[in-house]
A = this chain, B = another copy of it.
């Protein structure tokens, strides 16, 4: 920092210029062999022709010629070997040394999960019951019995735009069903009331199924048509909620190891700083949490496209790597049949900013997943049943990706943002990390942590990662995030809509 560069990982053989640096400037004890623009890479030592170039501790390509210490590293001397089928599954799976887990104060559930919040959810099968779910929540806010429950964080309507006008069998239907069931089971809910209209494609009996949707049994359901209209549904729902809240409020926060945490990693409104401040800092926090036995979820498949073989190399087992490749092939088909294409190549603007290869660009997003082995790969909203660093397939679209992570079990979200996202995601608290100090200063009431000080104050990525982990533990124990204080989360349940609207 003092030298105007940043090293993103101890193993890297390049550092990043934080300002336009002239020829002869001395960085890490080495004089630059030529001028290097801001955001671009500098060889931290001599790199042999064909040697891997490492950024974030990850391969971003190979030197296409001998590179001297202090030289500018970019398209003229850094290339990417063809890798289309070179997935080398597990080749770079290096378990991290374990750490004694920290503790948080959480809500222990019947199935062994531990929640960070204790909400009661009013889940909806279809848009057509969405307004009534909100009316119920509004009535509950004014209900003295419900307001007297000391351990319930609130009654949360979970409203969306789909659930009918769709096939009742295809992939879109299965994805929505997984998403709704996943919310019903999320450990941040102490109880779920499912409200349907009655005639929708996503039938309430199919959602409820044969088994118990929630292990604690604190689950009830009703349809507006079966109950006799809006007012009757609100009245009956209030009675049900009073019983459910009584049960939910018996649970109190008790100590749990952070190995019980499931944290969704996200970025949105990214900027040129995301990949050098907040994302690697979050990656360090992820590594620490994984070393303590916790679980972190990387997602947003369109943004890692082209660098998937770096994740397959971290896979703990062949099936894990193969499952990721299968998801990538699925996405190629999904975009092709929608007259689009997957393309995460650096644009001319990206290249001007210092990003040389598709790997390097995707690694800016992947950096928030740290360096731990890849323990499992899940579909959107599939229940997460493995500790460690895992992947859940999703679009890059923030509210949709977070919705999948919460359906998969995430009890907390940590979200890096450069331009400034202000959303929240009930029932799971969301910690916002600003990538730059300028935006943090402008939007401090929305940003939980400034990672811009990695550049402006010379804070190390490791120290920032520890700060993030400490905040994760505090928030898991009940401290409200800024988006919770502001009341966010009523609009951001966005199931992934796949297929035709009929």
Contacts and interface: CB of A to CB of B under 8 A. Distances in A.
- Interface-central residue, A228, A335, A338, by most chain B CB under 10 Å: A338
B490 A134 contact: yes
B198 A502 contact: no
A492 B128 CA distance: 7
Contact of A422 (B160, B224, B486): B224
Contacts of A198: 269, 419-420
Nearest to A231: B445
Contacts of A400: 161, 165, 501
A164 B397 contact: yes
Copies in the complex: 2
A432 to B, nearest CB: 11
A462 B356 CA distance: 73
Contacts of A502: 302, 335, 340, 395-397
B197 A128 contact: no
Looking at chain A's contact residues, the main secondary structure is loop
Interface string A159-183: 1110011110011000000000000
Interface string A463-502: 0000000000000000000000011111110101111111
A1 interface: no
B491 A443 contact: no
A66 B69 CA distance: 97
A130 interface: yes
- Interface-central residue, A134, A199, A230, A498, by most chain B CB under 10 Å: A230
A501 B167 CA distance: 18
A138 to B, nearest CB: 9
Contacts of A199: 268-269, 419-421
A337 interface: yes
Contacts of A445: 229-231
Given A131-B423, A337-B338, A395 B499 contact: no
A269 B197 contact: yes
B135 A338 contact: no
A257 to B, nearest CB: 33
A448 interface: no
A339 interface: yes
Given A161-B494, A197-B422, A494-B161, A443 B225 contact: yes
Contacts of A224: 420, 422
A87 interface: no
Interface in A252-269: 268-269
Given A127-B492, A199-B421, 6 more contacts: A128-B423, A198-B419, A199-B420, A229-B445, A334-B500, A395-B502
18 contacts: A127-B399, A128-B421, A131-B424, A131-B488, A131-B492, A132-B422, A159-B491, A161-B161, A165-B395, A197-B269, A224-B422, A225-B419, A229-B446, A230-B446, A230-B486, A302-B502, A395-B500, A400-B501
